[in-house]
Amino acid sequence: MKELTKAEDQVMQILWKLGKGFVKDIVEEMPDPKPAYNTISTIVRILETKGFIDHKAYGKTHEYFPLVSKDKYTKFYLNNMIKGYFNGSFPNLVSFFAKENKLDTSDIEKLLNEIKNQKP
């Protein structure tokens, strides 16, 4: 799996939210100023080539749907980020965010309790 560009990620976020949709549906969900229809159409074709989405044809129109789940991509993306920025260490990631967000010991204890209470 490859990492998505910012534009590809934006389109995928919309398709994950919608479940499926035509290019016009994706354009409608985009923030203003909305990109051109052809721009989104090009991004959709790139995502299809990369194996992230597929389509169902209705004559000349295509309805697109995700092949890669949001959860699967999130895991891939976060693992790559941890490898690239935190030497593959989850504790380094947590330490970074704890320092950046000025978490105190009670915040960290709450996080630890949440982790302990999660079901596998």
- Give tens-digit pLDDT for 64-92: 999 999 999 999 999 999 999 999 888 88
**What pLDDT shows up at residue 91?**
85
CA angle 55–17–97, rounded 5-degree value:
125
Global confidence as pTM = 0.81
- Does residue 120 have a pLDDT over 70? no
Is the C-alpha dihedral spanning 78, 84, 89, 91 positive or negative?
negative
Collapse the DSSP code of 86 into the 3-class scheme (helix H, G, I; strand E, B; otherwise coil) and give the result: coil
